[in-house]
Amino acid sequence: MGILIGSIMDVAFPHSAVSPTLEGDVLVVLAGTTRPLTGREVARLARRGTQPAVAAALNRLVHQGLVHREEIGSSFLHTLNRDHLAAPAVLVLAGLRTELLERLRAAVGSWEVQPLSAALFGSAARGDGDADSDIDVLVVRPPQVDEDDERWRTQMARLAEDVHAWTGNHASLIEVAEQDLPDLLDARPPVLDSLRTDAIPLTGVPPARLVPDREPA
Amino acid sequence: VSPRKSSRTSACGEREARVRLADARAQLQLAELAGGESAPAEIKAAVSSAVLAGMAASDAACCKALGRTNRSQNHRDAVELLGQVAPGGADAAKQLERLLSLKDESQYGFTNLTGPKLQQAIRRAKALVAHAEEVVRR
């Protein structure tokens, strides 16, 4: 496995930046459970790759000792060998999306001027995009903070740079002033649906409460 | 690797995980509607909602990580299955076990449940929902 410097994060399969083959997908599935899984179950949970291709990947991983295989009745069951030297690296790869969220929360949490709300939304929150997807972040500016406030602008710019450095993806920061939220509700842009259903709160008021789904009076 | 027991499970995946996670959040919101001033019957209903939130969260985590969810009436099977989610399954399973111990009391019991018991149930349900959210977005 080699780290591809400057690679872009596939928001659906973040581990692909380091392990782009089906072996990476299989390992991430096995890292998610201690339950022994059949090849068919692994293929279903991996979300991509045919069953024969997943079986071939499992064969290679069993050969390398990173996956244990045991025959139970007529089934072959697979588990991640958590004692393997490479297992810690697999667990890190399996947790990349969680790591992105933790970094976003830490970054926004350290801001001198706190937002009313910040949330990850869109495909990065749903985990269904690809390597070309933006990392969408909603940031709601409190009413007492001016749009041109230098501290506010600096921290927004730094967040965009950090997200790009962490993932290789473009950070799309959607900034809304608290006083403009009613206009957003009236305009009902498509982004509202994602904010209501998929957004992952980073700090402050959760988006589902800021932009409730109700018909205008 | 030990042979798998024949507890009743059914196949499910990411789509079902998201549906059950939404169910869990909704039940948790219902549970949180009751407060210290609520009538005994309302507290009991809220505990029942917290239990349902925990069960839905457990289904969500299991569907995403294991591709299966519990269909047995035996609480121990559900707890054991959740314990197989990694990481965090073992801790989540303990929360579920304690939450499920309130299920019969809140849904079929003749005695009242106290406010502190409700707060404890809500804390456990919140922990389970947080765990499921982490697993589903992984």
Contacts A–B by Cβ distance under 8 A = 59
Q: Which residues of A12-40 are buried (b: 16+ CB within 10 A; e: fewer)?
A: bbbbbbbbbebbbbbbbbbbbbbbbbbbe
Q: Grade residue A196 by pLDDT with cuts at 50, 70 and 90.
A: confident
Give the closest-approach CA distance of B102 to chain A in angstroms.
Answer: 27
CA distance A187 to B72: 47
Q: Write out pLDDT tens, residues B71-129.
A: 988 888 999 999 999 999 999 999 999 999 999 888 888 888 888 899 999 999 999 99
Q: Work out the minimum CA distance from A127 to partner chain B, whole angstroms.
A: 7
* C-beta separation of B33 from B46 below 8 A: yes
Q: What is the pLDDT of residues B21-43, one digit of tens each?
A: 999 999 999 999 987 788 889 99
Predicted confidence (pLDDT) per residue in A126-152, tens digit: 888 777 789 999 999 999 999 999 999
Q: Say what the pLDDT of residue B5 is.
A: 52
Q: How far is B42 from chain A (nearest CA, A)?
A: 24
Residue with tokens 């314990």: B83
What whole-number distance in Å separates Cα of residue A200 and Cα of residue A10?
Answer: 18
| Residue of chain A minimizing CA distance to B80 | A35
- State the residue for tokens 């500016």: A141
Contact residues, chain A to chain B, C-beta under 8 Å:
31-37, 41, 44-45, 47, 68, 70, 72-73, 77, 79, 91, 94-95, 97-98, 101, 125, 127, 200
When pLDDT is averaged across residues A41-63 and rounded to a whole number, the result is 94
Instruction: Find the largest Cα–Cα distance for chain B.
Output: 51
- Write down the residue that tokens 């076990």 correspond to: B97
Place of tokens 């007529």: A74
Please tell me the predicted confidence (pLDDT) of residue A1: 41
Q: For tokens 């947790």, what's the residue?
A: A95
| pLDDT band (50, 70, 90) for residue A41 | very high
How far apart CA A119 and CA A83 sit, in angstroms, is 37
pLDDT surpasses 60 at A4: no
Instruction: Please choose, from the candidates B68, B64, B67, the residue with its C-alpha nearest in 3D space to the C-alpha of residue B78.
Output: B68
Q: Which of A35, A41, A127 lies at the smallest CB-CB distance from B84?
A: A35
Q: How confident is the model at residue B4 (pLDDT cuts 50, 70, 90)?
A: low
In chain A, which ranges are E strands? 37-38, 67-72, 75-80, 117-121, 135-141, 171-177, 200-204
- Using CB atoms, which residue from B3, B66, B133 is nearest to A72? B3
Question: Is the confidence at residue B59, as pLDDT, over 80?
Answer: yes
CA distance A195 to chain B (A): 14
Q: Which residues of B touch A (CB under 8 A)?
A: 1, 3-4, 11, 13-14, 64-68, 81, 83-87, 89, 133-135, 137-138
- Rounded to whole angstroms, the Cα distance separating A24 from A3 reads 13
